[in-house]
Chains A and B, each alone.
Chain A
Amino acid sequence: MPTLFLVTFIDFMLSHLLPGNPALAIAGPTASPAQIAAVDAQLHLNDPLVVQYWKWLVDSIHGNFGMSFVYHESVASLISSRYQVTLSLALYAMILTAVLGVGAGLLAAVRGGLLDNVITAIAGFFLAVPQFFLGLLLVFFFAVKLPFFAGDGYTSLGTSFTGFLKTMTLPSLTLALTGAAVVARQFRSELVGVFQKEYIGFAEAKGLSSRIVLFRHAFRNAFGPALTLLGLQVAGILGGAIIIEEIFNLPGLGGLMILSLQNKDIPVLQALVLIACVIVLLANLLTDIGYARLNPRVRAK
């Protein structure tokens, strides 16, 4: 709850961070007094700060984010016409993060040796590459040099499944690789730690096959911390989506956010930031619940 309060307050204050008189900054230097008064009215700028915040908060909770200053359309309808792109991008990226991260971590920990070093080095590389650069590299190699995928554009999942894979795989992969590297490193070191525990030796001594030991004993015990990190990647994916949609020319919410910044379209911006923050907080909550289910000791507390 305190987090939610802080989030909404920071988000609300965005309209007051504009240099100078917010109404003047939003309406533009050529605005007539009537236009400025209209902006004042919509943002309740003539009320005391606390009252402004309260009115904005109540409106937002009801899904009423006001009217866009630029598009003469309600913020809600702007967002609903674009959210599918970002949602499918984020979900696809999340699946890739989980599969690649857990898979690579598992492989590194179980095989060890050279493969372990190679995977760890590759993870170190992906942690150091800015996502926009990684995206451009992937476009260069897998859309230009080897035209497996499309370098830009969007095809919805409903229209064509192969079209979706063709357009969305590269952007999702770009978003996923950074998080996958974080998860892989963590999961690898957790697994290596678990392998040294006595109950693993005991399970092996009981004569269980190495596969059962790995998946029923080691995996379950090492997965908790990796799951937590996986949940934290949601924040990174949403932030990265802003940049990735720009590179791959996807008509999603990230592009809308850049546009709203350029136009100083504050209601749109506030709605987008609020939605992103709430999604991240929900993801953290779900992660905690999942962690507790995996780990009875946490549940008992």
Chain B
Amino acid sequence: MKMSRTPANSESSANDTSEVEPSQVDASIQSSPKRRRFLTLFLRQHIAVGALGFLLLVVLAAVAAPILPLQDPLYQNLSASIQGPTLHHLLGTDTLGRDLLSMTIYGARTSLLAALEATLVCLLIAVPLSLLAGMMGGWIDMLLSRMADALLSLPFLVVAIAVIGVIGGGLTTAMFTVGVLFSPGLYRVLRGSVLTVREETYIEAATAVGCSRAQVAYRHVLPNIRAPLFVQSAILMSYGLLAEAALSFLGLGISPNQISWGSMVGTQFSALQRSPGVVLIPGAAIVLCVISFNLIGDGLRASIGRTSSGTDL
């Protein structure tokens, strides 16, 4: 994963010293060449572009699932259980005779949507709070940061499983909880970025011109923490996928007539010896998507190139 990062990093930091300073004076005027520079740099990250292409294919298949010539993923046919690949079932069938290809594609809908939900919830909590803490400082900052530290020191999976198991409700409630539990990690990264950006000259200039603190936060600080925001969002998607997979594997949140990659493995894993495909196919789907999101995160980090792009959560 790091193979592509080292050369690209040095390249972008070389560009930074010559280019970034003038373009930072007013981000809005020069945004289009800057965006083009980002695109050129990102397109040079061949691995990340490949990962993005793969994910777009998965999303396309997931969105188009109802109009694709697929069988009903829930249609059971016990006389055709645990078949190898045939023309009729391209990836074979599971223990209940359901079509694995169809299940995998419909599973993508559930899994990706669940990860997206956790990511959005996390962003909606962490972005405003990190801006608030970073801009206001003082007791607000101390209170929020203390709470984030405390939540971060908990065993995430133990707490998530306990809370979600007790609350009950569907996958939506479960992934909402996951998003809430992710937010202190993102908060900590973004608050650090806000503190760095706040010291820049253009923030001082904006304040001097008479912008209110809220205006400065929204118009000037927020656009300049885009880099860590994008990188962290990609990483959050991969964490969200892993969390959904783990919860659905245990049967938490997901309902029996819902199919996700995690629940496919969870309900079928006793058939591993008779028919490895029922476990290997959904498992591989999770791994490939998680790796893809991580690679995109790495590619973004390298091509946005500013040093404050943040590390892992």
Contact = CB atoms under 8 A, between A and B. Distances in A.
A125 B245 contact: no
Interface string A114-140: 000100110111011111110011011
14 contacts: A6-B147, A10-B159, A14-B166, A125-B287, A129-B287, A132-B245, A133-B283, A139-B272, A234-B155, A238-B155, A242-B161, A246-B250, A264-B166, A276-B158
Given A132-B266, A242-B157, A127 B167 contact: no
Interface in A228-253: 234-236, 238-240, 242-243, 246-247
Given A17-B167, A132-B266, A137-B283, A276 B155 contact: yes
Contact of A7 (B150, B242, B273): B150
Given A17-B167, A261-B161, A144 B273 contact: yes
A133 B268 CA distance: 12
A213 B40 CA distance: 43
Interface stretch (A41-49, A155-163, A165-173, A277-285): A277-285
A130 B157 contact: no
B54 to A, nearest CB: 13
| 8 cross-chain pairs, A with B, having the tightest CB-CB distances, nearest first | A239-B157, A261-B165, A124-B1, A235-B155, A133-B283, A128-B290, A3-B150, A128-B291
A261 B272 contact: no
A67 interface: no
Nearest to B262: A130
Interface in B159-175: 159-163, 165-169
A258 interface: yes
A45 B297 CA distance: 48
Contacts of A10: 154, 159, 163
How large, as a class, is the contact surface on chain A? 35 or more
B285 to A, nearest CB: 10
The range of chain B's interface size is: 35 or more
Contacts of B165: 261, 269
Contacts of B160: 239
Given A129-B287, A269-B162, A236 B147 contact: no
B68 to A, nearest CB: 26
B294 A127 contact: yes
Contacts of B276: 140
A278 to B, nearest CB: 10
Interface string B254-280: 000000001001100100110010010
A120 B286 CA distance: 20
Contact of A281 (B147, B153, B250): B153
B144 to A, nearest CB: 13
A234 B245 CA distance: 21
Nearest to B238: A128
Contacts of B242: 130
Given A130-B283, A132-B249, A261-B165, A120 B265 contact: no
Given A124-B1, A136-B279, A235-B158, 5 more contacts: A117-B3, A130-B242, A235-B156, A247-B269, A261-B252
Interface of A: 2-3, 6-7, 10, 14, 17-19, 117, 120-121, 123-125, 127-133, 136-137, 139-140, 144, 185, 234-236, 238-240, 242-243, 246-247, 257-258, 261, 264, 266, 269, 272-273, 276-277, 280-281, 284
A273 B291 contact: no
Contacts of B166: 14, 17-18, 261, 264, 266, 269
Nearest to A14: B166
A121 B1 contact: yes
Contact of B283 (A136, A238, A272): A136
A273 B3 contact: no
B44 interface: no
Contacts of A239: 155-158, 160-161
Contacts of A125: 287, 291
Contacts of B2: 117, 120, 124, 185
A258 B247 CA distance: 11
B265 A124 contact: no
A67 B20 CA distance: 64
Contacts of A2: 146, 150
A35 B308 CA distance: 58
Given A17-B167, A132-B265, A236-B157, A243 B250 contact: yes
